Structure formats: structure tokens, C-alpha cells
């Protein structure tokens, strides 16, 4: 059975710098997840490969984490390092994770049940499952639900401990912002580029016949041709791509060029924003790439895409369970698409959100204004497209995108964005120091190497 998709961590960078995520908290790069076999069953034969402050790291833990990492690197189209080197990095990550979890448990911090429930919901959403479906998938993969929850509890505990210990070390002054903006204006390093790519991935199975490969390549070529002809790329992602990419509209996120596979960089090197490349072949399949954005690394973007959307929110309660709310919203979607009802009218009648009086209209919004699960679903929609029911911490939403526009940030907003960039960089540096301090305090005994 296919493994649960939890995130796509950049292990190679993390193992060297132990840097934190600067985006919303994800659920698979933590000590909890890496120390629990979320992918595959435990092997009967096992042994200790390392001891961290009297707590063992087992061969099975390393093997499971290594398998996950290899699958994720393959899916991302990233070149695979030698297996012994990757195993060493995985083991070092597990050691660091255990050391952080041990100190977090001694910190006095606690995680309440509601936080764990929200984390479970987040994993379900990432896998496009309901919580009940997630529970069944875990059982099918040989895991108990209680063990899974315990892993999430540990992850949340470490995140809270890290925030408490690291964020207090970081301060951003007005002088920092002024200097940052001056540096950006005077910089001429054209090689330091941040890129946001979107992709359509037509996966090729490992045992595919030559005829199947040819057919899949033709499918990818058709997607590329339609993209170059002007068809909405998000619509093409939904039509052609793997399910795991659809929620984000295929976007891989703005990141430094060196965090993209060389294959992707070579294909898009001469393209400007809006350009289409591919299909190009990787170990995962055929990729069609679109350049969403290119800009000088670290430079706050003065141009942003604003979205005007509307939604219907049904809150989940003992009287209205999540499944019932999703069924109601699915029925509303069918009626609207069939022309039997008006979205705005139904929003006024049914929505539990304050926007109900405006027909669910949320007005023009900037990136980052909504919770990640809502914004990710919204960004994956084409104009006038209606989402499937989307579960967030507030309930279940039905979302429709009405308009998008490019606009410039005000001077004040530019400064706030610069402040955020500086803070993220300082947090990353402070986290690396903190993680090294914890690793240095830990007693680590290496025993038999992992197999």
C-alpha cells in the first residue's frame, strides 16, 4: 500500500544545517514521525545502531526513515546521493531529533488534546482524507491510531520547545530593515536567484513497459502543448498531474535555486515568469514545468497576486459531524454547477462565517491572510472554479475564486515583508546554533552501522 504523504522534506539540507521550516508547521520532519514507522511494517530482526542519552536508535528506525527519504527525493526529481552517505545523514537526523525530544520532555511544556486533534486533521488534509479514512489507512499500514497520536504529540512538544528557546533570541530592528533594503537596491549578484516553479508530474511506474512509457510521455507532451497554448496551468495540473500536487496547483514554492533539482534549473534557466518547459524525464516520471516567479534572492517582491474569493463555511459540532458537513457542501456545489442555485444566495442562507451577509465574499486578500489549508486549496483553483469541501480548523469550506490581480505593495508593506525575511533568516541561524548546542550536550554512542 502506498505510504501516507506527510511532507516532502529537504533532508540533505536539514541534516547539515538542522534548520527550521519557515512556513506552516509540517508533520513529517520531526522526531515523532522519524522515530515511528509511518511507512511500512517493522521488520522482525532489529538491533541498536546508536544510543542517545540511554535511548536507542534502532536499525528499523533508520531503514524506515531512509526508505521514506529515498521515495521523497525520487518524487521531487532530486539526484540521489550514495546510499551509505544518505544513511549517515538519516542517522544523524534521528540522533538530533531524539536529543531535542528528550530536552523538550524535561522542559515542563505540555500539549493538550485539542492541539493533537488539529494535528491529526492536518495530516488527513495533506493526504486528502477524512480523519476516519486516515485511521483506516493507518490500520492497513500496520499502525495503531494511539501510536500515531503519540508521535504527533511528541512533534508538537518539540515545536513548542523550539519556539520558546529560539524565538526569544531573535530581534529585528528598524536599522536591520533599512540596511537590508539598501543592500538589495545595491546588489548586482544575478546568480543569487529565488525561483517558484509549478509542475505537472506524469508518473512512470518502475516496471512500466516501453509502450507504457511512450504513452505517458505523449500524455505529458499534450499537457505541455496545451500549457504553451495558454490553457490555465492549474486546470492542467488537476487534469494530468499526480493527486498529491493538485491541492497546491502544482506550485513547489519560492526557494533558492540551489534547492531545486539541477534538472529543473537547466530546463527553466532561460525562461521568464510564465514560461513553460518540458516535458523532462526524471526517476519519478515526466515533468512539465512553469516558471511562476524569478527574483533576486531575499528581495521582498513589490508585486503580489491578490485573490478575491467567496466561501461557505459549515462549522463542525457534535450535532453536525465533518462527514455530514462535507455531504451538504458537495450537494451545494452540484446545485450551483447545474445552475439550480446561486452561490451567494446559499452562502447567505447556510454559511456560519461572518462573510455570509456578503454572500460569502471575502474581498481582495493578500497571500498569507488565510490559514494554510484554506489558502492552499484557494490557490489551486482556476477562475470561477469551485473547490471540493475543504476542512480547516474552523470547519468545512466550499471555496470559489472570483478574480485575481497583480498589485504593488505599499512602502509600509514592503518594510514589513523585509522584516519578515530578516526574521526568518535570523531564526534559521539561531535554530542551527540551538540544535548544535543540544546535539553537543547529548551523550551519543555509535554501535553497529545500519544495514
Domain that holds residue 70: 11-170+430-443
Do 96 and 204 lie in one domain? The reply is no
Do 138 and 257 lie in one domain? The reply is no
pLDDT attached to residue 39: 36
Do 222 and 273 lie in one domain? The reply is yes
Residues 189, 252, 293, 429, CA torsion sign: negative
What does pLDDT average to over the chain? 81
Where a domain ends, among 281, 296, 311? 296
pLDDT attached to residue 239: 87
pLDDT class for 434, splitting at 50, 70, 90?
Answer: very high
Where a domain ends, among 260, 279, 296? 296
In a domain, 338, yes or no: yes
CA distances (Å), origin 397, targets 113, 326, 358, 361, 385: 24, 8, 16, 13, 14
Q: What is the CATH number of the domain that holds 323?
A: 3.10.50.40
CA distances (Å), origin 91, targets 33, 62, 63: 14, 6, 9
Closest CA to 178 of 427, 414, 430, 428: 414
In a domain, 448, yes or no: no
Judge whether 344 and 295 are in contact, CB under 8 Å.
Answer: no
In a domain, 159, yes or no: yes
* In the predicted structure, residue 30 carries a pLDDT above the cut 70: no
**How far, in Å, CA of 71 to CA of 35, rounded?**
17
DSSP letter at 83 equals H
Q: Give the three-state DSSP class for 127.
A: coil
Q: Give the three-state DSSP class for 277.
A: strand
Do 140 and 218 lie in one domain? The reply is no
pLDDT attached to residue 20: 36
pLDDT attached to residue 331: 94
In a domain, 450, yes or no: no
Do 289 and 307 lie in one domain? The reply is no
pLDDT class for 120, splitting at 50, 70, 90?
Answer: confident
Q: Count of domains in the chain?
A: 3
Q: What is the CATH number of the domain that holds 48?
A: 1.10.4030.10
For the ranges 55-69, 122-136, 355-369, 415-429, the lowest mean pLDDT is seen at 122-136
Do 87 and 208 lie in one domain? The reply is no
In a domain, 287, yes or no: yes
pLDDT class for 130, splitting at 50, 70, 90?
Answer: confident
Do 15 and 88 lie in one domain? The reply is yes
Do 74 and 92 lie in one domain? The reply is yes
Q: What mean pLDDT do residues 243-255 have?
A: 75
Closest CA to 70 of 101, 26, 40: 40
In a domain, 29, yes or no: yes
Strands 444-446 and 395-408: unpaired
* In the predicted structure, residue 218 carries a pLDDT above the cut 70: yes
**How far, in Å, CA of 295 to CA of 299, rounded?**
7
SS (H, E, C) 14-78: HHHHCCCCCCCCCCCCCHHHHCCCCCCCCCCCCCEEEEECCEEEEHHHHHHHHHHHHHHHHHHCC
Do 201 and 339 lie in one domain? The reply is no
Closest CA to 55 of 15, 87, 96, 85: 96
Do 165 and 27 lie in one domain? The reply is yes
Please tell me the pTM assigned to this model.
0.52
**How far, in Å, CA of 209 to CA of 221, rounded?**
18
Do 149 and 214 lie in one domain? The reply is no
- 123 alpha carbon, distance to own chain's centre: 11
pLDDT top residue among 84 and 4? 84
Q: What mean pLDDT do residues 173-179 have?
A: 88
Do 291 and 234 lie in one domain? The reply is yes
pLDDT top residue among 298 and 342? 342
Strands 285-296 and 390-392: unpaired
**How far, in Å, CA of 444 to CA of 52, rounded?**
5
* In the predicted structure, residue 6 carries a pLDDT above the cut 70: no
Where a domain ends, among 263, 281, 296? 296
**How far, in Å, CA of 97 to CA of 90, rounded?**
10
Residues 410, 413, 418, 424, CA torsion sign: negative
Q: How many helices (H) and strands (E) does the chain have?
A: 16, 11
**How far, in Å, CA of 287 to CA of 224, rounded?**
9
pLDDT attached to residue 279: 92
* In the predicted structure, residue 18 carries a pLDDT above the cut 90: no
In this predicted model, what pLDDT tens digit does every residue of 308-334 receive, in sequence order?
999 999 987 766 777 888 899 999 999
Amino acid at each position: 500500500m502506498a505510504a501516507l504523504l506527510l511532507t516532502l522534506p529537504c533532508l540533505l539540507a536539514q541534516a547539515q544545517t538542522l534548520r527550521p521550516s519557515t512556513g506552516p508547521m509540517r508533520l513529517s520532519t520531526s522526531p515523532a514521525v522519524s522515530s515511528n514507522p509511518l511507512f511500512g511494517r517493522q521488520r522482525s530482526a532489529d538491533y541498536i545502531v546508536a544510543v542517545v542519552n540511554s535511548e536507542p536508535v534502532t536499525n528499523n528506525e533508520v531503514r524506515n526513515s531512509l526508505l521514506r527519504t529515498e521515495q521523497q527525493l525520487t518524487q521531487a526529481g532530486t539526484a540521489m546521493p550514495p546510499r551509505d552517505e544518505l544513511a549517515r545523514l538519516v542517522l544523524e537526523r534521528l540522533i538530533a531529533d531524539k536529543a531535542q525530544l528528550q530536552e523538550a520532555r524535561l522542559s515542563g511544556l505540555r500539549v493538550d488534546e485539542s492541539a493533537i486533534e488539529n494535528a491529526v486533521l492536518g495530516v488527513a488534509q495533506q493526504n486528502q482524507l477524512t480523519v476516519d479514512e486516515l485511521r483506516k489507512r493507518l490500520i492497513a499500514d500496520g499502525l495503531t491510531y494511539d501510536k500515531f497520536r503519540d508521535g504527533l504529540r511528541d512533534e508538537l512538544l518539540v515545536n513548542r520547545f523550539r519556539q520558546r528557546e529560539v524565538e526569544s533570541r531573535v530581534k529585528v530592528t528598524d536599522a536591520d530593515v533599512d540596511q537590508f533594503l539598501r543592500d538589495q537596491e545595491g546588489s548586482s549578484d544575478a546568480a543569487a536567484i529565488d525561483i517558484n516553479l509549478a509542475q505537472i508530474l506524469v508518473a512512470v511506474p518502475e516496471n512500466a513497459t516501453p509502450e507504457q512509457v511512450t504513452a505517458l510521455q505523449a500524455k505529458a507532451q499534450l499537457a505541455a502543448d496545451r500549457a504553451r497554448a495558454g490553457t490555465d496551468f492549474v486546470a492542467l495540473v488537476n487534469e494530468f498531474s499526480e493527486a498529491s500536487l493538485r491541492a497546491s496547483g502544482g506550485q513547489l514554492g519560492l526557494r533558492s535555486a540551489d534547492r531545486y533539482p539541477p534538472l529543473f534549473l537547466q530546463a527553466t534557466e532561460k525562461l521568464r515568469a510564465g514560461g513553460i518547459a518540458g516535458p523532462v524525464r526524471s526517476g519519478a516520471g515526466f515533468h512539465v514545468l512553469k516558471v511562476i516567479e524569478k527574483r533576486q534572492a531575499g528581495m521582498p517582491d513589490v508585486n503580489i497576486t491578490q485573490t478575491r474569493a467567496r466561501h461557505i463555511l459549515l462549522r463542525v459540532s457534535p450535532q453536525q459531524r465533518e462527514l455530514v458537513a462535507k455531504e451538504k457542501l458537495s450537494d451545494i456545489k452540484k446545485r450551483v454547477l447545474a445552475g439550480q442555485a446561486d452561490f451567494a444566495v446559499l452562502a447567505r442562507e447556510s454559511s456560519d462565517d461572518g462573510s455570509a451577509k456578503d454572500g460569502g465574499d471575502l474581498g481582495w486578500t493578500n497571500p498569507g491572510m488565510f490559514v494554510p489549508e484554506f489558502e492552499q486549496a484557494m490557490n489551486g483553483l482556476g477562475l470561477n472554479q469551485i473547490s471540493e469541501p475543504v476542512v480547516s480548523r474552523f470547519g468545512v469550506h466550499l471555496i470559489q475564486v472570483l478574480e485575481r490581480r497583480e498589485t504593488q505593495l505599499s512602502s509600509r508593506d514592503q518594510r514589513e515583508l523585509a522584516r519578515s525575511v530578516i526574521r526568518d533568516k535570523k531564526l534559521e541561524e539561531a535554530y542551527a546554533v540551538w540544535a548544535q548546542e543540544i546535539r553537543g550536550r547529548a551523550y551519543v554512542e555509535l554501535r553497529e552501522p545500519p544495514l
